[in-house]
Structure 1
Amino acid sequence: MSGTSEMKQDKTLYFILIGVIVAAGISQGMLLPVLAIFLERMGVSSGMNGMNAAALYIGSFGMTLAAERILGKVGFKKLIAAGLVLVMLSLMVFPLFPSVGLWFVLRILVGVGDSALHYASQLWVLMMSTSRNRGRSISIYGMSYGLGFSMGPLGINLLNFGNHVPFFGLAVLFAVLLVIVLIRMPDVRPERQASGDAPGRGRYMKSYALAWYALLPAFLYGYMEAGINSNFPVYGLRSGFSLEQISSLLPFVGIGGLLLQLPLGIWSDRFGRKKILMTAGITGGVCFMLIPFAGTSYWPVLILLTIAGGMVGSFFSLGLAYAADILPRTLLPAANVVAAFHFNIGSILGPNVGGAAMQTGWISGVFIVMGLLYILFACSSLWFKRGSNPG
């Protein structure tokens, strides 16, 4: 990667990237529950509510199709700056025009912007890390996003000061970051693909064939993240929780991820990422399936959400780290794209499957299906036999 030595030595750049990822996490963590509450109050069905939430990930999915090519042409700085601008402008429009159709379009634009931010930053982290510290490095990245995502639902409380306050406040944060990125971030581009590498689609297929198990956690993380944040407010309201209880419970999924993100990353460096992913998947899946049985008991639900979030909150980052262990460095950009595909597919399905389940009257299905998916993932490890290839 041209200019990587400059990037690696510049600690300021590292903290800028961390700030960008925190902001991206806040935007997703806030928009999902806040808009879900607005749509529920507007009388929109839970199924349509979930479909509207999935628009964010449709935009992210579309951006993923072109992310690698765009990054190669414009570089890290311009791609990150464009993502910040797109999200910032979209945030300012949301409260001005309360329209279900327009919100669908705006969510697509936010998804495009957030996808640009994620792709550029997480690829940089992967390329700079080694097999010895990869789990720790990618976990710090994941913690940064998790911190932002867990802070996002707190925007529900800002609605007391006006429906526009959460959106405009976050737009100001993006504006500040944009100025910092334009002033301090070096203009760096990834190296061009070597002539001997597999071309186009072949690179994606090869990375998937070699590391499919390591790329599945991205799907599960997207399913959980989008499903919880868009469906839980509706689940909570229909189960009997108050808005204050919902806004205080939601962050604990992210808080659990923050608490265990770094320990799980370090343990994966020591004991192997496959074992950690299997153990975390089973534990998190069981906790999700127990939530409906806790009813409206606040503390049991809080504890279960925290444990479940702690176990599976590292799935995206640990999966990428595991893929980087297995794959040659030339396939990492392609693997990053495949992981983003999986994340977006999961994020689209999560709100829709949960919303459809609640619409049929199976409210507990939100968590039962989610838990089963994590347990099935752990069991599928029996069919993945490839070893690591550190480097």
Structure 2
Amino acid sequence: MTSRFYDSFRLSLLIGSVFICGTAEGMLLPLIASLLEKEGVPVIINGAGTTALYLGMLLTLPFMEKPMQKLGYKTFLFTGLMMITVSLCLFPLWFNLGFWFLLRLVVGIGDSMLHFAAQTWITIGSPYKKRGRNIAIYGLSFGLGFAAGPLLVRLLVFGTAVPFITGALLCLIFLFPLLLLKNEYPEKNVQQEISLVNGFVRYGRATAAVWSGLVATFGYGFMEASLNNSFPVFALRSGFGLDDISSLLPVFIAGGLLTQLPIGMIGDRIGWKILLPLLSLSGAAAFAFSGVMSGSYYGLFITFMAAGMLIGSLYSLSMSYVSAILDRPLIPLGNILMSICYSIGAMAGPVVSNSLIVPVPKGGLFYSISAMLLIVSASSVIHQKIRTRKNRLSVKQNLGSAQ
């Protein structure tokens, strides 16, 4: 196997694993939300239960950098996907809130392991000239999977267990081929081993350097989890059926897929500082229109498509920005910070959005997402102004010292 062929084979498997992970996550959120709503579980408890998946990500992410350095990318990928596969098989065994909360916690841990390894391996293992393209493909594959996931909810007509088992079988397709990959290890930053205090300093410096990118990641998690958990609850209460839900949710993802690569190419040309706030502001407007047209299937179809085209690539755009600013050894740390912010946003999204469904039944869900995207846009503008001011001061200081 030639080096070039192996690199392509490795990238294909990584992309495929991310795709199937997106499919499992895209299926699990609306599927469980719909099942619990049908069983009469209160809307707040339903939304809070969704946080288990992201809580699993959040609790384990800060501790993943060193274990992955010792175990390697391949081990992390395989273990993460195995945890997701086994959990999907266990869901149909017992319809219990506590049991399902625990399983979603395990899925979240497996999800974070898989994504952390895949993101870092793709980012560091890609040539610099192809890094942006490969990251865009990464985002595209996860988006495709996430779009396909809700379609599996329709399999409920054949039995409650069928969607879960189908998701597990799809995971197996990519699980065992991962064993064919060579295990590789991330670069070590010698300084990070010095002390715990130095570790906090590294986190602080990385956060200060890329904080607006982290806010964007938080906003994406808030938006994504709100749509996949809160929207099924909103839709069922508004008279929409399961077929409507399973067809509307992929529309947002499909919109993002249509523009993922073009936006990535435009971002390479004009830069994130213009594109990120502009797209966030436009996405906020699109979701505001979703709130206005929340009673119409075709109105939601159009606004979901528009929002997806504008803001569906927000995660990959912020990922490209973070990896471009941070030094190579700090890229895994940047990925951890992004995943933490995504997880916190995804935990907050369903709780905030579900709490608005009852007091603001006609569009409160969409207005909360719109407000979040306005915050993302504002933070991008503020951060850029701060960076510009610092750069000007640095230039003046350098000129003064030279004179």
Partner residue of 1:49? 46
Partner residue of 2:103? 106
Kindly indicate whether the alpha-carbon contact (under 8 Å) linking 1:135 and 1:318 is maintained by their aligned counterparts in 2. Answer: no
Partner residue of 1:326? 325
Trace 1:12-31 onto structure 2 (pairs within 5 A). 12-31=9-28
Counterpart CA distance in 2 for 1:135 and 1:314 is 13
1:354-391 per-position Cα deviation (integer Å, ceiling 9, x unaligned): 1111244545221101101112221222321337x9xx
Q: Which moved more, 1:187-196 or 1:88-97?
A: 187-196
Kindly indicate whether the alpha-carbon contact (under 8 Å) linking 1:225 and 1:347 is maintained by their aligned counterparts in 2. Answer: yes
Kindly indicate whether the alpha-carbon contact (under 8 Å) linking 1:87 and 1:110 is maintained by their aligned counterparts in 2. Answer: yes
Report the CA distance shift for 1:280/1:134 in structure 2 as closer, same or farther (over 3 A).
Answer: farther
Kindly indicate whether the alpha-carbon contact (under 8 Å) linking 1:256 and 1:306 is maintained by their aligned counterparts in 2. Answer: yes
Kindly indicate whether the alpha-carbon contact (under 8 Å) linking 1:60 and 1:115 is maintained by their aligned counterparts in 2. Answer: yes
Partner residue of 1:247? 246
Identity %: 38
Partner residue of 2:394? none
Partner residue of 2:342? 343
Partner residue of 2:368? 369
Partner residue of 1:123? 120
Report deviation, 1:258: 0.7
Report deviation, 1:134: 3.6
Helix, strand or coil for the counterpart of 1:188? coil
Kindly indicate whether the alpha-carbon contact (under 8 Å) linking 2:91 and 2:164 is maintained by their aligned counterparts in 1. Answer: yes
TM-score, with normalisation over the residues of structure 1? 0.93
Report deviation, 1:308: 0.8
Report the CA distance shift for 1:224/1:143 in structure 2 as closer, same or farther (over 3 A).
Answer: same
Structure 1 unpaired stretches of 5+: none
Partner residue of 1:66? 63
Trace 1:167-182 onto structure 2 (pairs within 5 A). 167-182=164-179
Helix, strand or coil for the counterpart of 1:54? helix
Q: 2:88 aligns with which of 75, 88, 91?
A: 91
Helix, strand or coil for the counterpart of 1:250? helix
Counterpart CA distance in 1 for 2:176 and 2:59 is 27
Partner residue of 2:137? 140
Partner residue of 2:379? 380
Kindly indicate whether the alpha-carbon contact (under 8 Å) linking 2:215 and 2:379 is maintained by their aligned counterparts in 1. Answer: no
Partner residue of 2:184? 188
- Larger C-alpha radius of gyration, 1 or 2? 2
> Cα RMSD between the aligned structures?
1.9
Counterpart CA distance in 1 for 2:86 and 2:136 is 30
Report deviation, 1:337: 0.8
Partner residue of 2:200? 201
Report deviation, 1:307: 1.2
Partner residue of 2:305? 306
Report deviation, 1:94: 0.6
Report deviation, 1:36: 0.4
Report deviation, 1:206: 0.8
Helix, strand or coil for the counterpart of 2:64? helix
Partner residue of 1:238? 237
Structure 2 unpaired stretches of 5+: 392-403
Report the CA distance shift for 1:196/1:57 in structure 2 as closer, same or farther (over 3 A).
Answer: closer
1:253-306 per-position Cα deviation (integer Å, ceiling 9, x unaligned): 111111111111110001101211111101111111111211322222111111
Counterpart CA distance in 2 for 1:196 and 1:228 is 38
Report deviation, 1:200: 1.6
Kindly indicate whether the alpha-carbon contact (under 8 Å) linking 2:276 and 2:380 is maintained by their aligned counterparts in 1. Answer: no
1:204-243 per-position Cα deviation (integer Å, ceiling 9, x unaligned): 1111111111222110111111110001111111122122
Partner residue of 2:400? none
Helix, strand or coil for the counterpart of 2:184? coil
Partner residue of 2:33? 36
Partner residue of 2:272? 273
Partner residue of 2:395? none
